[in-house]
């Protein structure tokens, strides 16, 4: 099936980059395979990650099919749009089915985008990652390609107001393909995280000094910014989950009454 929506959205994104005065520094796009399946393992620090983590593949004439919760596909507007991109609907309550969907797509030659951290990192560092990316790649016999970006979170991320002001820098680094065998999943997952950590370090080092002043909220504390530490970010995530569960319970109780 021919992609119709993807090229249109990519063209619109590139226009936004020009109008918004984005300063994009992207390296390593040659690591995205020109053909065949691959898992793109992306960091997750904003609500707009998919734009930048799919960009390297487009440079090599590949479209990334992102895994997304099935509820998004149930939306009357979002659903048809997601299906037009050929993204993958997954049921979070059925991990085995989600895994099978991804592996089948990889075996059919698709590039599948995965966020191993699962949720947005408030610290802007790489959180502990899940093993899914490694297991999928091993099961399908394809490489994992780590893609890490830094800067998009300044536009829209968790806990901060949206900022559409012009001239923001975004740095993207694509790592070399990594071929997990599945023989030692914990060790191979740890190796993927090590590679993602190293790429993030490259991104922050390459980020323009004038756009990462001391104490900036968008810079990790360990790099001189004021973002929460990994531990503090985890505490905030736990609190958020608790509040969400309480609101859900209250809403259910109100309906029942």
Residue 106 lies in a domain: yes
* Strands, sheet with 23-27, edge to edge from the N-terminal-most edge strand: 23-27, 169-174, 144-150, 38-42, 111-114, 64-69, 88-90
Residue 71 pLDDT: 80
Within its chain, how far is the Cα of 139 from the centroid? Answer: 21
Q: What is the pLDDT of residue 257?
A: 66
What angle is formed at CA 170 by the lines to CA 169 and CA 171, rounded to 5 degrees?
120
Q: What's the pLDDT at 111?
A: 96
pLDDT digits (tens, 9 = 90+) for 73-123: 887 777 888 888 888 887 766 678 888 989 999 999 999 999 999 889 999
Would 79 be classed as within a structural domain?
A: yes
Task: Please state, in angstroms and as integers, the Cα–Cα distance from residue 121 to each residue in 4, 79, 110, 114, following that order.
Answer: 32, 26, 27, 15
Long-range contacts of 187-191 (CB under 8 A, 24+ apart): 188/134, 188/138, 189/116, 189/129, 189/130, 189/131, 189/133, 189/134
Instruction: Answer whether residue 240 is part of any domain.
Output: no
Alpha-helix residue ranges (DSSP H) falling in the chain: 5-19, 49-59, 70-74, 78-84, 95-107, 132-140, 185-206, 230-256
**Which stretches in the chain have pLDDT values below 50?**
none
What whole-number distance in Å separates Cα of residue 249 and Cα of residue 3?
42
The answer to whether residue 73 sits within a structural domain is: yes
Q: For the domain that residue 63 is a member of, what is the CATH number?
A: 3.40.1130.10
- Residue owning tokens 């898992």: 39
Which of the 8 DSSP states describes residue 190?
Answer: H
Whole-model pTM: value is 0.90
* C-alpha–C-alpha distance, residues 87 and 254, integer Å: 36
- Answer whether 168's CB lies under 8 Å from 23's CB: yes
247 lies in some domain: no
Residue 236 lies in a domain: no
Q: What's the domain count of the chain?
A: 1
| Structural domain harbouring 154 | 5-227
In a domain? residue 71: yes
Write out 146-187 in H/E/C secondary structure. EEEEECHHHCCCCCCCCCCCCCCEEEEEECCCECCCCCCHHH
Residue at 200 is within a domain: yes
Query: What is the DSSP code (8-state) at residue 11?
Result: H
Task: Return the pLDDT at 141.
Answer: 96
């Amino acid at each position: 099936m021919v992609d119709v929506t993807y090229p249109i959205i990519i063209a619109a994104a590139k226009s936004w980059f020009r109008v918004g005065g984005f300063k994009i520094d992207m390296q390593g796009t040659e690591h995205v395979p020109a053909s065949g399946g691959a898992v793109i393992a992306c960091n997750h620090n904003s609500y707009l990650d998919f734009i930048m983590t799919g960009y390297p593949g487009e440079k090599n004439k590949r479209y990334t099919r992102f895994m997304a919760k099935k509820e998004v596909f149930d939306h009357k507007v979002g659903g048809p749009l997601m299906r037009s991109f050929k993204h993958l609907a997954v049921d979070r309550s059925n991990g085995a089915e989600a895994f099978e969907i991804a592996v089948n797509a990889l075996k059919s030659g698709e590039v599948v985008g995965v966020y191993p951290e699962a949720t947005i990192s408030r610290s802007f560092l790489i959180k502990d990652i899940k093993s899914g990316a490694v297991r999928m790649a091993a099961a399908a016999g394809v490489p994992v390609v780590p893609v890490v970006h830094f800067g998009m979170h300044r536009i829209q991320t968790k806990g901060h107001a949206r900022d559409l002001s012009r001239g923001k820098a975004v740095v993207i680094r694509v790592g070399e393909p990594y071929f997990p065998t599945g023989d030692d999943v914990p060790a191979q997952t740890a190796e993927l995280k090590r590679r993602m950590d190293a790429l993030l370090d490259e991104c922050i080092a390459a980020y323009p000094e004038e756009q990462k002043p001391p104490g900036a909220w968008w810079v990790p504390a360990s790099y001189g910014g004021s973002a929460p530490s990994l531990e503090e970010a985890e505490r905030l995530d736990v609190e958020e989950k608790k509040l969400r569960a309480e609101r859900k319970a209250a809403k259910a109780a109100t309906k029942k009454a």
